[in-house]
């Protein structure tokens, strides 16, 4: 499916595939082959977390060298993070929590954001600022499936991407919920596979992830 990256919305990011990979890269040499393997497996929304000094350079390389991929930045915690991510070529952002400052910065930059929430109050704060597509994080530690089911009543207009503790064994349960559009997870980008350059394994994990029902 063709995608206009310049008019991307948070809902586009969430609906593209059942899983958004949560990627931690320590070596810039891994960025491009990893992105190509994920795209080959059917996953193109790639959340590269800002947890390492190399992250912004990795985003830049993916944006330049793998145009079929949609490079996003995770772990956005400030307006400065949002600005740096956009300059590096990120097309969307993901935050582990939510503040109005981060929400306003991303909105002003035109950077689609999936804000992280773990409580009803955080959901309400994000909604007040116009955000309806949210990341539930850390999903398992913050209540998991029962919490998402409880939120279906008061927050029936919100769509979630649960992240944190999601894996191949429980992803389908989350995807079956009406208020879940996708899940975030690192199981399709195992650290050992990245370190070993086992791109075939990652491509296969991505392909399997695209077959998860939702």
- b/e burial code for range 6-31 (CB count within 10 A of at least 16 → b): eebebebbbebbbbbbbbbbeebebb
> Which CATH number fits the domain that encloses residue 10?
3.20.20.70
Annotation says 104 is catalytic: no
The reply to whether 81 falls in a domain is yes
Question: What mean pLDDT do residues 179-203 have?
Answer: 98
Annotation says 64 is catalytic: no
Mean pLDDT of the chain: 97
Q: Is pLDDT above 80 for 3?
A: no
Which one is catalytic: 60, 135, 173, 208? Answer: 135
The reply to whether 214 falls in a domain is no
Structure confidence by residue, pLDDT tens digits, 156-171: 999 999 999 999 999 9
Which one is catalytic: 47, 60, 91, 203? Answer: 47
Question: What mean pLDDT do residues 40-55 have?
Answer: 98
The answer to whether the beta carbons of residues 159 and 174 sit under 8 Å apart is no
Q: Cα–Cα distance between 120 and 45 in angstroms, integer?
A: 27
Q: Which domain holds residue 28?
A: 5-209
Structure confidence by residue, pLDDT tens digits, 91-122: 999 999 999 999 999 999 999 999 999 999 99
The number of folded domains in the chain is 1
The torsion defined by the Cα of 23, 102, 117 and 153, in degrees rounded to 10, comes to -130
Which residues is 145 bridged to in the sheet? Answer: none
Q: CA dist 22 to 47, 105, 180, 186, Å? A: 5, 22, 17, 5
Structure confidence by residue, pLDDT tens digits, 142-157: 999 999 999 999 999 9
The reply to whether 133 falls in a domain is yes
The reply to whether 100 falls in a domain is yes
pLDDT of residue 4: 76
């Amino acid at each position: 499916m063709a995608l206009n990256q310049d008019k991307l919305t948070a809902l586009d990011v969430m609906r593209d595939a059942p899983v958004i990979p949560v990627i931690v890269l320590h070596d810039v040499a891994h960025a491009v082959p990893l992105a190509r393997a994920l795209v080959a497996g059917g996953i193109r929304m790639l959340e590269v977390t800002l947890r390492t000094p190399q992250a912004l350079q990795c985003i830049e390389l993916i944006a330049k060298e793998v145009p079929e991929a949609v490079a996003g930045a995770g772990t956005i915690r400030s307006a400065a993070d949002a600005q740096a991510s956009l300059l590096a070529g990120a097309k969307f952002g993901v935050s582990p929590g939510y503040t109005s400052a981060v929400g306003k910065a991303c909105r002003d930059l035109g950077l689609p954001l999936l804000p992280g929430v773990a409580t009803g109050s955080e959901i309400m704060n994000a909604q007040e600022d116009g955000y309806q597509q949210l990341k539930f994080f850390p999903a398992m530690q913050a209540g998991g499936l029962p919490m998402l089911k409880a939120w279906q009543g008061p927050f029936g207009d919100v769509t979630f991407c649960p992240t944190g503790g999601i894996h191949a064994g429980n992803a389908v349960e989350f995807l079956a919920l009406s208020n879940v559009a996708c899940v975030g997870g690192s199981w399709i980008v195992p650290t050992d596979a990245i370190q070993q350059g086992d791109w075939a394994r990652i491509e296969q994990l991505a392909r399997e992830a695209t077959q998860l029902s939702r």
